[in-house]
Chains A and B, each alone.
Chain A
Amino acid sequence: MEILVVEDARDQRMMLTRLLTKQGFQVYEAADGLEALAMIHDHRGIRFVVSDWMMPGMDGIELCKTIRATDFHRYIYFVLLTGNSDEEAVVEGINGGADDFLKKPVDFNELQARLNAGNRIIELKAALEAKIDAIETDLKSAADTQAQLLCDPAQLGNVAFNWYFKPSRFLGGDMFGYHELGDGHICFYQLDVAGHGIPSALLSFSLNHILCDDQHGNVVKEVLDTPPYVRGRAPDQVLSRLNEQFQAKAESMLYFSMAYGLINNETGAVSIALAGHPPPLWVRKTSASIEVLPIAGVPIGMMPGMSYSTESLQLAPGDRLFLYSDGLTECENREGEMFGEDRLKSMLKESITKDLGLVVNHFEDSIRDWSGSEVFEDDVTFLLLEWNP
């Protein structure tokens, strides 16, 4: 165990060093606060500091405050030596971040007992850190799994898809996807499970699985006896089927908002339904305008027996649909202002002639600049599709 003794009086420093060395500590010595900081920087094994209060240059309390304000990648257990039992001094010391106090002249048995107590705390903290490391490793590997579930940007028939996905911290409840149903339609969806972390992510994983791999025709399609043997279900039907399957318990609050749509590959006809999801934006190329599709619906899992409505629209060649989760519009800048739908609309309008990939990159930069941070409070996801026959 490595310990640093900080004391300007040479004789007292040597006495402490001698006693602690005898107890099996590896002892470092410093004559003032600045020297002590350099020692802690250089010797990464130092976990204990026993420091005098009154010293020239940087005193004990300043040293303690500086240690607390610096990230040494380990906890430093700080014992302050006090010349008197003045209560105010003790309060000042605790506020400065000291862990323990010892009156001078030092009683060696008491010092030993206090260092043992400190050691228990350091060991507890190390055990806790190891557990946190293990949890973070698990979360990272789950986040990798999540990333593997996401569709690659793709051209499916006449429809090009691209997207941006940034989970909050490690794991999020956002999910999206698109695939050909085999009846001339391509389905596309985006969903956002309320809350963050493992419960939300697990639900979004399992939803993705159900939506992608619907071989028995339970959710997104019906299986027919005659060609084309499969038929996509109407979007409102898909949502009500999911709503019956995924009723959340009151305690779990695992609800999700969702947009689900079908696009006819040949004609560009789109049908779409929403369950409490932010309204998709329709980017119309010929008029260079943005149209909001405000389709209301109860989020899925809240109440059984809900019905949803399917809206139809006809895309013109080059038209786009922009689907997003509320993490995008609710993303705040440093002043607490939200990104908002208006900003989104003008960005889409400005980028109408740009390639999908460029639009995605441009949006990614804009939202990052807006938040001023690499880590978002909520998942930020959007999905962009373009029909070009």
Chain B
Amino acid sequence: MPFDTKNESNHLVVSVDEARLDASIAENFKDYLFNHIDQDASDMVIDLSVVRFMDSSGLGVLVSALKKMDGKSKIKLAGAQPAVLDLFHLTSMDKLFSILPTVTEAIEEK
């Protein structure tokens, strides 16, 4: 599994160790996130610093996780590279998520 989690300052930090977050791993990633959301209600930071390319399916997983949270906790996105930031911009993801340069800043953000 190219996903890992750790707890840090009341946040669940999920890291994606995969250069492409696309349709080929979207289902696995969704199941992984949904499992954690079912077990743990803390705010989540998704560390995307390794991801160089994300497609609409990858984006769909992030939004599905947000829907699954149902407003009970927050999801923050950290470390997005330029191509991923372009996608976030095109799809106005700043309306749905806090998008921060690093995991540390994401944890500190209120």
| Chain A residues numbered 19-57 whose CB sits less than 8 Å from any CB in chain B | none
Could you say which residues of chain B place their CB within 8 Å of the CB of A248? 64, 67
Question: Is B57's CB under 8 angstroms from A253's CB?
Answer: yes
Neighbour of A298 across the interface among B26, B55, B64, B91, CB < 8 A: B91
Could you say which residues of chain B place their CB within 8 Å of the CB of A194? 56-57, 59-60
What does the 1/0 interface line of A289-309 toward B look like (CB < 8 Å)?
000001011110011001000
What does the 1/0 interface line of A55-88 toward B look like (CB < 8 Å)?
0000000000000000000000000000000000
What does the 1/0 interface line of A209-223 toward B look like (CB < 8 Å)?
000000000000000
Could you say which residues of chain A place their CB within 8 Å of the CB of B93? 298
Task: Name A's interface SS.
Answer: loop
What does the 1/0 interface line of B1-44 toward A look like (CB < 8 Å)?
00000000000000000000001001000100010000000000
Question: Is A251's CB under 8 angstroms from B64's CB?
Answer: yes
Question: Is B56's CB under 8 angstroms from A306's CB?
Answer: no
Question: Is A330's CB under 8 angstroms from B55's CB?
Answer: yes
| Chain A residues numbered 263-320 whose CB sits less than 8 Å from any CB in chain B | 276, 278-279, 294, 296-299, 302-303, 306
> How far apart are the CA atoms of A248 and B92 in the complex, in Å?
18
Chain A: how many interface residues by the 8 Å CB criterion?
25
Question: Is A303's CB under 8 angstroms from B63's CB?
Answer: yes
Question: Is A303's CB under 8 angstroms from B96's CB?
Answer: yes
Interface-centre pick from A194, A257, A298, A306 (highest chain B CB count, 10 A): A194
Across the interface, name the chain A residue whose C-beta is closest to B61: A253
Q: How close is B89's CB to chain A, nearest CB, in angstroms?
A: 6
Could you say which residues of chain A place their CB within 8 Å of the CB of B63? 253, 255, 302-303
CB contacts between A and B, total, < 8 Å? 67
Q: How close is B48's CB to chain A, nearest CB, in angstroms?
A: 18
Chain B: how many interface residues by the 8 Å CB criterion?
23
> How far apart are the CA atoms of A115 and B59 in the complex, in Å?
51
Could you say which residues of chain B place their CB within 8 Å of the CB of A196? 23
Neighbour of A296 across the interface among B60, B64, B65, B92, CB < 8 A: B92
Could you say which residues of chain A place their CB within 8 Å of the CB of B110? none
Could you say which residues of chain B place their CB within 8 Å of the CB of A297? 91-92
Could you say which residues of chain A place their CB within 8 Å of the CB of B68? 250
> How far apart are the CA atoms of A194 and B63 in the complex, in Å?
12
Q: Is B72 an interface residue (CB 8 A)?
A: no
**A250 and B92 in contact, given A192-B56, A195-B23, A326-B55 (Cβ under 8 angstroms):** no
Could you say which residues of chain B place their CB within 8 Å of the CB of A326? 55-56
Question: Is A253's CB under 8 angstroms from B64's CB?
Answer: yes
> How far apart are the CA atoms of A299 and B58 in the complex, in Å?
13
Question: Is B95's CB under 8 angstroms from A298's CB?
Answer: yes
Neighbour of A306 across the interface among B59, B65, B67, B95, CB < 8 A: B95
> How far apart are the CA atoms of A330 and B22 in the complex, in Å?
11
> How far apart are the CA atoms of A202 and B92 in the complex, in Å?
26
Q: How close is B67's CB to chain A, nearest CB, in angstroms?
A: 4
Binding site for B on A (CB under 8 A): 192, 194-196, 248-251, 253, 255, 257, 276, 278-279, 294, 296-299, 302-303, 306, 326, 330, 378
Q: What are 9 sample pairs from A and B whose C-beta atoms fall under 8 A apart?
A: A195-B60, A253-B60, A253-B64, A255-B60, A257-B91, A296-B91, A297-B91, A298-B93, A303-B67
